Amino acid sequence: MDRAAVARDLDALIDDGGAIVLASGGAPGDIEPPPWLEAIRTVRERYLGPERCADRGTYRHPAERHQDVLARAPFSRIETARWDRAITRTVDEVAGLQLSYSYSSPRQLGPDVKAFLSDVREALQSFEPSGVFEERVRTEVIRARRP
């Protein structure tokens, strides 16, 4: 997606005093990923390959932060708020969560969904026999307004 073009298009649509608001989990690398995520990645790559496929193509995180793109856009007054929290999940919750991602959705996995989930559960149990997985999660909200 051309984020700069979207911001320019929104400039014509949003009333004076309006804003663009983005909500996300923050930029990659802002929070150290939990160590057990590598076990899931290994299983996912075995089923789907190394590329993160989503719908009609592959996905890579943008190299440039949203704030940097918006700083050059008509909405260059930027405020960012972040909230971090710890989440504890079970093996089944972590495994099921994988199906909510576009790159490991049931559509991507096709007939391998059950086998994938079984292998994810097995990899997680091998990594952490207690079956309890803690993760620090971030919510980031960016509000961008015109100067």
Residues of the domain holding 100: 3-145
The answer to whether 36 and 128 have CB atoms below 8 angstroms apart is yes
Indicate the burial class of 12 (C-beta count within 10 angstroms; 0-12, 13-18, 19 or more): exposed
Query: Higher-confidence residue: 20 or 2?
Result: 20
Tell me what percent of the residues of the chain surpass a pLDDT of 70: 93
C-alpha angle 75-20-15 in degrees, rounded to nearest 5: 80
pLDDT (0 to 100) of residue 26: 85
- Residue pLDDT, tens place only, 80-114: 999 999 999 999 999 999 999 888 999 989 999 99
Mean pLDDT of 8-17: 93
Average pLDDT, the chain: 91
- Residue pLDDT, tens place only, 45-65: 999 988 766 666 655 667 788
Work out the widest C-alpha separation in the chain, in whole angstroms: 55
pLDDT (0 to 100) of residue 28: 77
pLDDT (0 to 100) of residue 60: 66
pLDDT (0 to 100) of residue 79: 97
77: β partners: 145
Tell me the pTM. 0.78
Number of domains in the chain: 1
pLDDT (0 to 100) of residue 46: 96
